[in-house]
Structure 1
Amino acid sequence: MAVFNQVEFDNHEQVVFCADEASGLRAIIAVHSTKLGPAVGGCRLWDYAKDEDAVYDVLRLSKGMTYKNAVARLPFGGGKSVIIGDAKEIKSEALFRAFGKHLERLGGSYYSAEDVNITTGDVMMMHKETNYVLGLEGKSGNPSPFTALGTFLGIKAAYQHKHGHQDLAGVKVAVQGLGAVAYGLCKHLHEAGAQLFVTDINQASIDRVVSEFGATAVGIDEIYDLDVDVYAPCALGATLNDNTIPRLKATVIAGCANNQLAESRHGEILREKGVLYAPDYVINAGGIINVYYETKPEGYNKEQATKHVEGIYDTLTEIFARSESEQKSTHIIADELAQEIIAQGL
């Protein structure tokens, strides 16, 4: 399995493969950059089909965290971790404590937090073996509501740029994936008067959003063909690809999923189609912003965290304006902004 010659490797500072026979732990920790500070990024538990898929995923996510933290103006570098396995079968205190021991061995170059299929309770079990975890219960806690808020404000910023107003009443939004963040996003959208069209692999999640927010449920594949104004990818990545982009009718793409573009060229294809894309690591930075305020010497302050998250609206507005004036796709502008901040410092 090649690593160094993968495009996604992109000069990662460290990639660590972790195992613990007793608990069944198999994990990978990727540290992309510590230039702005210790690498920070959540831990994802996923049942990857093969190890190569896990390596690909963790490398992409880790680099994304470097850029996400930079554009969010946080004194963090970028890192990410994945635990391989079925969350319904392998979760145990022993597993998370074993993972915590591996975090401890890195000596603070990487701090983990919750991500897909990892709860704050799981993070607390890691915390029994290490202090190198964030998003702790009793401190900043669950970051999902802040990611949802930032994503909602990002949709408003995108709609404002594309259509000259941010009133979402009657706006049709297709939400793909209904995890904790997407549920919060749907709540915001519903309260703003948007019409919701939703899909997920979990029927219970669909039923909840249909019941509480009057959403219309659609099939997993049907979501791409809807005549809607906004497509909000909130599941796993790479849903913007050669197969799906020609089918999309939305003029705005803005959601909380990571790595939404299957390849960089797909961002340019969207721009040529006149579709405004909100770069994923910019719009979904609310959670990591909230976690940062846990590290403040004076202690966590929810009001300060919320105000910082609200700045996502302004950051996206800047990116959209630069994209238009420089005739470059928004994800390229976001990358350039991140690179400028990393080079110059905060």
Structure 2
Amino acid sequence: MFTMMESARLEALHLAQDPVTGLKAIIAIHNTRLGPALGGCRYLAYPDTDSAVRDAIRLAQGMSYKAALAGLEQGGGKAVIIRPAHVDNRGALFEAFGRMIETLKGGYITAVDSGTSSADMDCIAQFTQHVTSTTTAGDPSPHTAMGVFAGIRATALARLGSDDLQGLRVAIQGLGNVGYALAEQLAASGVELYVSDLDPGRVQLAAEELGAHPVSSEDLLGTPCDILAPCGLGGVLNSHTVGELHCAAVAGAANNQLASNEIADELESRGILYAPDYVINSGGLIYVALKHREQSLAAITAHLSKIGLRLTEIYGHAQADKRSPARVADALAERLLYGS
């Protein structure tokens, strides 16, 4: 476990369980140089505890990089609650998690993530103030989608020569809260959409409401398009799937899209421009961080508008240095986090 922590340069790892509610939780705090750690709480089934710990560590590191390049006074953290096969009282389980967060005395602030909701955050908020994305604070998903939309425009400009999206073909993998909101914005801009989701109802809705072309989940990555937008879970781009791509750029909302750093180099060698995921999808983090600090919606929107500018900066460095934007983004983030 310490080897994993050292490899990721993780500051702290907290584990807690509550036999009464079935809570088994992991909080990974990656870096707090810029401020207290902030990151969502996942509530998912895992094959074993080691898998859950690795996921928390990997995601916490991504949150540090995301906060740094978003210009936020926040560190990076992530929580994982291992979803039991059966839970008697979900509310009580998240209340127990709230008590765990409170013991960290503000060192970690939690938010919604895969498998959790604002209602879960409301339960946590009964026992700690170090939580956002509550019903009162609001859902960050629309703001994530706004940032990704701005990032797609910046990516189109860098790779295709124009940020006018009219007539472009965009393939969206995953139509959850963020993916569907993104699809709505793209459709309004005249984009031809190709979509897939594990829920056929979401695909049908996109076809009926947005005129999207349904594609099977197995075929979506190989669909010829201008921009591929992964908006589901991570690890979708690996040594096998990269060879299937028929797109000019990859720009989507999913976290940890690359199975490894080497995949970024494969995309670069194929001439496929990659928008570093933790840069383009930082809109949700910007929203929850500034909302937690009681910033106005105008201030939050102004901060969101910088996502496209940051990507343009990264693309410029990448072109000048002839290396992947992912490598450039990592170097910029590490300079902010470690001064190196």
In structure 1, the residue corresponding to 2:285 is in which secondary structure? helix
Q: Give unpaired runs (5+ residues) of structure 2.
A: none
Against the structure 1 CA distance between its residues 172 and 71, is the aligned structure 2 distance closer, same or farther, given a 3 Å change threshold? same
Contact 2:5 2:11 in 1 (8 A): no
Contact 2:179 2:253 in 1 (8 A): yes
Contact 2:38 2:289 in 1 (8 A): no
Against the structure 1 CA distance between its residues 83 and 234, is the aligned structure 2 distance closer, same or farther, given a 3 Å change threshold? same
How far does residue 107 in structure 1 lie from its aligned partner after superposition? 1.1
Between Structure 1 and Structure 2, how many residues are aligned? Answer: 340
Against the structure 1 CA distance between its residues 53 and 343, is the aligned structure 2 distance closer, same or farther, given a 3 Å change threshold? closer
How far does residue 344 in structure 1 lie from its aligned partner after superposition? 5.3
In structure 2, the residue corresponding to 1:262 is in which secondary structure? coil
Residue of structure 2 equivalent to 1:14: 12
Aligned Cα RMSD in Å?
1.7
- The residue correspondences of 1:144-155 to structure 2 (distance < 5 A) are 144-155=141-152
Residue of structure 2 equivalent to 1:315: 310
Contact 1:230 1:254 in 2 (8 A): yes
Which residue among 9, 21, 27 is the counterpart of 1:23?
21
Distance of 2:87 and 2:160 partners within structure 1? 47
How far does residue 138 in structure 1 lie from its aligned partner after superposition? 2.5
Distance of 2:198 and 2:45 partners within structure 1? 15
Residue of structure 1 equivalent to 2:221: 224
Residue of structure 1 equivalent to 2:120: 122
Residue of structure 2 equivalent to 1:78: 76
- The residue correspondences of 1:101-180 to structure 2 (distance < 5 A) are 101-139=99-137, 141-180=138-177
How far does residue 26 in structure 1 lie from its aligned partner after superposition? 1.4
Q: Does 1:331 align with 2:326?
A: yes
Deviations 1:74-93 (A, max 9, x none): 00010001111169967711
Against the structure 1 CA distance between its residues 275 and 27, is the aligned structure 2 distance closer, same or farther, given a 3 Å change threshold? same
Distance of 1:128 and 1:77 partners within structure 2? 24
In structure 2, the residue corresponding to 1:58 is in which secondary structure? helix
> What is the percentage of aligned positions where both structures have the same residue?
39
Contact 1:8 1:59 in 2 (8 A): no
TM-score, reference length from structure 1: 0.94
Residue of structure 1 equivalent to 2:274: 277
- The residue correspondences of 1:28-67 to structure 2 (distance < 5 A) are 28-67=26-65
Distance of 2:5 and 2:120 partners within structure 1? 32
Deviates more, 1:5-14 or 1:20-29: 5-14
TM-score, reference length from structure 2: 0.96
Q: Does 1:302 align with 2:300?
A: no
Deviations 1:269-306 (A, max 9, x none): 1011100000000000001111122233xx33111101
Contact 2:8 2:58 in 1 (8 A): no
- The residue correspondences of 1:204-223 to structure 2 (distance < 5 A) are 204-223=201-220
Against the structure 1 CA distance between its residues 263 and 87, is the aligned structure 2 distance closer, same or farther, given a 3 Å change threshold? same
How far does residue 20 in structure 1 lie from its aligned partner after superposition? 1.1
